[in-house]
């Protein structure tokens, strides 16, 4: 059966269709096609050549000794002490040592009275929580008495220690040989190495404490009595240990009544070994010293490689051709503008075979303008304090030598704005990076970025993967809604 529409109904349907078509056309005319030209843009990318060179980690430029060893200054914010020596044919050896003072509470007294008021032995104890290098090689550490107290407030490593130690004249306190892998475990205090010192030193400490001597009335008075200790490697090579606490340890016996296991009664008199310690704390200075051999070979190695070596070794300096990038931006067609949209930056180090003395890759690197380095560490800033000029990268994969810094276009744009006629020079610095963390209380602990003291190296090959920077540019018509 065939159904026919009435004329009025057919007219209504035709009108409705025409209305819908009209609505579709109207929507199109008010859409993208009707937007202002300055809101529409096209994107393209362009590559620029980067220039690398290896420079001293000491921006002040310390002199290399006749023996080819360089002692650089580096801001060291941690109170860890590093002691040891690691050889490296390719990167040159690293030796670390430190000078420290002990904190003395005002009116210091021994907790207990020794049997017969006698100190049995005394030690300098190095509590450490790890090591770099080959831990089975025998190393000898020697401790010397400082000739005067260390300066307060300075956190820079030392180039010269002649004000505090005189070779062949300063008093040797003691020495000991050890293997880093066989340190003595000590519950709650890590692993320790003990350097025996003269028992009479400990006896003098006790006698003065018992007599209420003036030397324990203040830290300044104590520093004059015992200025501090210098620890250095006197023989051997192979490892560097990280000392988390340095202490003067006095050993003696005390009389104590003990409980008999059989009866449970406290009626047994015994001599019980006891220790008393004075330790380095944040209240008193501790200064590091880093010796690097073979730096001149790295700095003068040509253009095939750039090197990074810590602590206080060398940095990779990179020149970004911001003048060429600016020229590219300025070449926008008449009536158009170009803006830098993105500039992802990645560094890939050269992989190497592991060996017994192989130095690890840095866990994190920071990229920043060369002229910002000293102030950044001295003022203990982080990447959040300077988000447009400082970029932190961790290893892409743990143990790898590839580091991604993300989009550095803000750094480039800021430099072009301030110094349009000068190329941007940035440096890559090994750092210890601690990310901000949420605490159980709900508070957020701040992040920290400090110079890396752990011995580490990175070798960057000058190939297309590293010496090309691809930037992405947006181009649009001139105009503004304001």
pLDDT at 188 (0 to 100): 58
Distances 128 to 80, 132, 359 between C-alpha atoms, Å: 9, 12, 19
Q: Which of 135-149, 234-248, 294-308, 424-438 has the lowest mean pLDDT?
A: 294-308
Q: Which three-class secondary structure state does DSSP give residue 189? A: coil
- Return the percentage of the chain with pLDDT > 90, whole number: 64
**Is the predicted pLDDT of residue 295 greater than 50, yes or no?**
yes
The mean pLDDT value for 114-123 works out to: 97
- What is the tens place of the pLDDT at every residue in 315-342? 999 999 999 999 999 999 998 999 999 9
Closest by CA position to 240, among listed 156, 127, 135, 361: 135
Tokens at 327, concatenated: 């020229």
pLDDT at 263 (0 to 100): 63
**Is the predicted pLDDT of residue 230 greater than 90, yes or no?**
yes
**Contact at 8 Å (CB) between 240 and 83?**
yes
pLDDT at 464 (0 to 100): 84
- In the chain, the domains with their CATH numbers are 42-54+306-477 (2.60.120), 69-292 (no CATH)
pLDDT at 223 (0 to 100): 97
pLDDT at 482 (0 to 100): 47
Residue 370, C-beta contacts closer than 8 angstroms, at least 6 positions apart: 59, 317, 425, 426, 427
Q: Which of 21-30, 80-89, 193-202, 470-479 has the lowest mean pLDDT?
A: 21-30
pLDDT at 9 (0 to 100): 46
pLDDT band, residue 465 (cuts 50/70/90): confident
pLDDT band, residue 288 (cuts 50/70/90): very high
DSSP 315: E
CA distance linking residue 365 with residue 12, whole number of Å? 73
pLDDT band, residue 443 (cuts 50/70/90): low
CA distance linking residue 215 with residue 219, whole number of Å? 8
The mean pLDDT value for 142-147 works out to: 98
Helix residue ranges, H only, 270-382: 295-299, 322-330, 373-378
Bridge partners (DSSP) listed for residue 199 = none
DSSP 466: T
Average pLDDT, the chain: 86
- What is the tens place of the pLDDT at every residue in 33-46? 555 555 667 899 99
DSSP 384: T
C-alpha angle 89-90-94 in degrees, rounded to nearest 5: 70
Q: Which three-class secondary structure state does DSSP give residue 429? A: strand
**Is the predicted pLDDT of residue 16 greater than 50, yes or no?**
no
- What is the tens place of the pLDDT at every residue in 239-275? 999 999 999 999 999 988 777 666 666 666 788 899 9
pLDDT at 3 (0 to 100): 47
Q: Which of 162-166, 250-254, 293-297 has the lowest mean pLDDT?
A: 293-297
**Contact at 8 Å (CB) between 246 and 229?**
yes
CA distance linking residue 195 with residue 291, whole number of Å? 23
pLDDT band, residue 349 (cuts 50/70/90): very high
- What is the tens place of the pLDDT at every residue in 192-222? 999 999 999 999 999 999 999 999 999 999 9
C-alpha angle 60-63-68 in degrees, rounded to nearest 5: 140
Distances 457 to 136, 148, 252, 404 between C-alpha atoms, Å: 21, 35, 45, 17
CB neighbours (10 Å) of residue 129?
Answer: 14
CA distance linking residue 113 with residue 270, whole number of Å? 14
pLDDT at 377 (0 to 100): 92
User: How remote is the C-alpha of 35 from its chain's centroid?
Assistant: 50
> Residue 327 — left, alpha, or beta (φ > 0 → left; ψ -120 to 50 → alpha)?
alpha
Q: What is the pTM of this model?
A: 0.84
**Contact at 8 Å (CB) between 153 and 174?**
no
């Amino acid at each position: 059966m065939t159904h026919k529409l009435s004329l009025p109904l057919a007219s209504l349907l035709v009108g409705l269709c025409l209305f819908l078509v009209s609505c579709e056309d109207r929507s199109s005319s008010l859409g993208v096609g009707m937007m202002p030209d300055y809101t529409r843009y096209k994107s393209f990318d362009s590559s620029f050549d980067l220039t690398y060179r290896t420079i001293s980690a000491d921006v002040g430029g310390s002199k290399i000794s006749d023996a080819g060893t360089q002692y650089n200054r580096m801001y060291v914010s941690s109170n860890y002490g590093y002691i040891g020596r690691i050889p490296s044919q390719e990167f040159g050896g690293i030796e670390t040592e430190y000078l420290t003072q002990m904190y003395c509470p005002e009116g210091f007294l021994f907790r207990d009275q020794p049997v017969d008021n006698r100190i049995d032995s005394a030690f300098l104890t190095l509590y450490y929580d790890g090591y770099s290098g080959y831990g089975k090689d025998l190393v000898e550490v020697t401790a010397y008495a400082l000739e005067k107290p260390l300066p307060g407030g300075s956190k820079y490593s030392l180039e010269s220690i002649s004000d505090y130690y005189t070779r062949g004249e300063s008093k040797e306190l003691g020495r000991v040989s050890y293997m880093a892998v066989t340190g003595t475990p000590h519950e709650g205090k890590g692993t320790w190495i003990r350097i025996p010192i003269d028992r009479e030193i400990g006896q003098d400490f006790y006698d003065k404490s018992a007599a209420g001597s003036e030397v324990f009335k203040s830290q300044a008075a104590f520093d004059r009595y015992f200025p501090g200790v210098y620890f250095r490697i006197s023989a051997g090579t192979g490892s560097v240990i990280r000392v988390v606490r340095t202490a003067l340890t006095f050993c003696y016996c005390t009389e104590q009544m003990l409980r008999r296991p059989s009866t449970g009664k406290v009626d047994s008199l015994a001599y019980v070994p006891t220790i008393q310690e004075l330790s380095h704390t944040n209240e008193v200075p501790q200064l590091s010293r880093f010796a690097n051999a073979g730096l001149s070979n790295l700095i003068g190695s040509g253009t095939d490689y750039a090197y990074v070596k810590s602590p206080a070794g060398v940095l990779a300096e990179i020149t970004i051709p911001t003048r060429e990038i600016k020229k590219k931006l300025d070449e926008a067609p008449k009536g158009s503008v170009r803006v830098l949209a993105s500039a992802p930056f990645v560094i890939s180090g050269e992989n190497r075979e592991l060996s017994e003395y192989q130095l690890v890759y840095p866990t994190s690197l920071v990229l920043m303008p060369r002229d910002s380095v000293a102030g950044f560490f001295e003022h203990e800033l982080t990447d959040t304090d300077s988000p447009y000029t400082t970029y932190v990268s961790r290893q892409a994969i743990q143990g790898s030598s590839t580091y991604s810094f993300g989009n550095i276009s803000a750094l480039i744009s800021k430099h072009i704005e301030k110094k349009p006629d000068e190329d941007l020079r940035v440096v890559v610095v090994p750092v210890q990076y601690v990310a901000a963390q949420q605490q159980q209380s709900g508070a957020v602990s701040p992040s920290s970025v400090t110079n890396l003291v752990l011995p580490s190296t990175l070798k960057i090959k000058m190939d297309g993967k590293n010496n090309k920077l691809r930037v992405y540019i947006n181009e649009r018509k001139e105009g503004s809604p304001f």
